[in-house]
Structure 1
Amino acid sequence: MFGFRSTKDIITLFHKAGSPTSTKVVNLLKQASIAAAESSSKREFELDITERDPTADQVSTILGYVGDKGASSVIENAATASDALKKFKENVSYFQKPLVVDWHNGKVVAGENESEILKLIEALPKN
């Protein structure tokens, strides 16, 4: 009688306007979003493209997803996750864009790695 509709996963792209790399990622994610909406076998997701810098809490969450090994892909020249957060708080420009985050599933892809971005999208639970 009352069906619960599952909420869409939110995929955020921290975008750097004017960057060809970031623009390429925007286009890839928009195409993937359209394809998911048109397919009954793929999970639709909400695409959030922002040029704003993340908050310290968001960076902390992202660093939790990538751990020490991935910290330098999020924050330039970071040795560990704690070092990355410290650097970010000192200067937000250390945050590397483009960065794709799947908040629901705890996945992050830095840069324009198309295969990794598509893998992140394909890993979303199906409808």
Structure 2
Amino acid sequence: MWKRIFGEHGAKNVVTLFHKPSSAASTRVLTVLKQAHAQAVAHSTEDQASSHQAQSKLERMEFELDVTDAPPTSDQLKNILEYLGGPSAVSKVIKGAQNESDAMKKLEADGEAFERPVVVDWNQGKAVVGDNESEILSLLRSIPKETDKA
């Protein structure tokens, strides 16, 4: 996986979907992410073969899509909670959790306590809980282009 993420041109933004296939909301989010990823790949190929014309906002969404059915590790959960604004986000991602340590215990005891879908951009330190398409697309649009990073 590291070779895929850290290519010749540096690190790509990795966007992870914590997915639950039996959830309609999670399936919708997966569809949105796959479409955005496909558009980014298509635009990046067009850019390589064309002149430097004005680029649309969709072209900014260059990312590596990682989809997992597994719950996050405890370190990942800590990061997700931080990205969502800290202690107030605990109950958004772990059913019935009162605080971070309670969330960790519940996650360890039952991975299904973790609410899905959750979309995480690890490089930018941002996350979206649920299937709000505009929030997810906003997160993706804020990903810097490879040329912006150079």
TM-score range, shorter chain: 0.7 to 0.9
- Deviation for aligned residue 1:107: 0.7
Specify the alignment match of 1:51 in structure 2.
Answer: 69
Q: Which amino acid aligns with 1:84?
A: A
Q: Which has the larger radius of gyration?
A: 2
Specify the alignment match of 1:101 in structure 2.
Answer: 120
Specify the alignment match of 2:52 in structure 1.
Answer: none
Specify the alignment match of 2:16 in structure 1.
Answer: 12
Under a length normalisation based on structure 1, what TM-score does the superposition of the two structures give?
0.87
Q: Which amino acid aligns with 1:86?
A: K
Per the alignment, in what secondary structure is the counterpart of residue 88 of structure 2?
helix
- 1:75-114 correspondence runs (5 A): 75-114=94-133
CA distance in 2, matches of 1:28, 1:20: 13
1:9-44 CA deviation, whole Å, 9 max, x = no partner?
A: 000001101211111000000001111222354141
Q: CA RMSD in A?
A: 1.6
Under a length normalisation based on structure 2, what TM-score does the superposition of the two structures give?
0.75
Write out the 4+ residue segments of structure 1 that deviate beyond 3 Å after TM superposition. Answer: none
- What are the ranges of 5 or more consecutive residues in structure 2 without an aligned counterpart? 1-7, 48-58
> Would the alpha carbon gap of residues 5 and 43 (structure 1) be closer, same or farther in structure 2, given more than 3 Å must change?
farther
CA distance in 2, matches of 1:97, 1:10: 18
CA distance in 2, matches of 1:80, 1:116: 25
CA distance in 2, matches of 1:80, 1:107: 20
> How many aligned positions are there?
124
